[in-house]
Amino acid sequence: RFHGEGYQEGYAEGSHVGVVEGRRYGVLHGAKIGSEVGCYRGFALTWQCLLQKYTDEKNSKKIRALDSLIGMIQKFPYEDPTYDKLQEDLEKIRGKFKQVCSMLNIQSDFRIDTERSSLTF
């Protein structure tokens, strides 16, 4: 009897602690992904505006790549944490971002500086 009661109490406590820890983990990593994707979007929109006044073939390729990146970001499922291809789509966005950075001759190392709460490239 004591063994059964102890098991039930331990199971209930473990379930509660697991939910709290899972929520904390989800919030932390969700915020990191949101910051990363948001930074990519701001970067792409800014460069899209800067390149619109130039219409030569070289810049049109860059604009098409930026449009593709923006499209991928707009389709990214922010609201669905159970989306089974979330990591796969995030890797595609990262790859497209690196491609765009290469086309623009910009170093593409994305970092979040936790001490000063700023983004650096």
Question: pLDDT-derived band of residue 120, with 50, 70 and 90 as boundaries?
Answer: low
For 97-107, write each residue's pLDDT tens digit.
Answer: 999 999 998 88
DSSP 74: H
Burial of 6 per CB tally in 10 Å (0-12, 13-18, 19+)? exposed
What's the CA gap between 110 and 39, in Å, rounded?
A: 9
Q: For position 84, what pLDDT does the model report?
A: 87
All residues at 6 or more sequence positions from 1 whose CB lies less than 8 Å from its CB, including other chains: none
**In sequence order, what E strands does 1-116 have?**
111-113
Tell me the domain boundaries of the chain: 2-104
For the entire predicted model, the pTM comes to 0.73
What's the CA gap between 75 and 86, in Å, rounded?
A: 11
**In sequence order, what E strands does the chain have?**
111-113, 118-120
Q: For position 31, what pLDDT does the model report?
A: 87
What's the CA gap between 85 and 8, in Å, rounded?
A: 36
For 59-90, write each residue's pLDDT tens digit.
Answer: 888 999 999 999 999 999 877 878 888 889 99
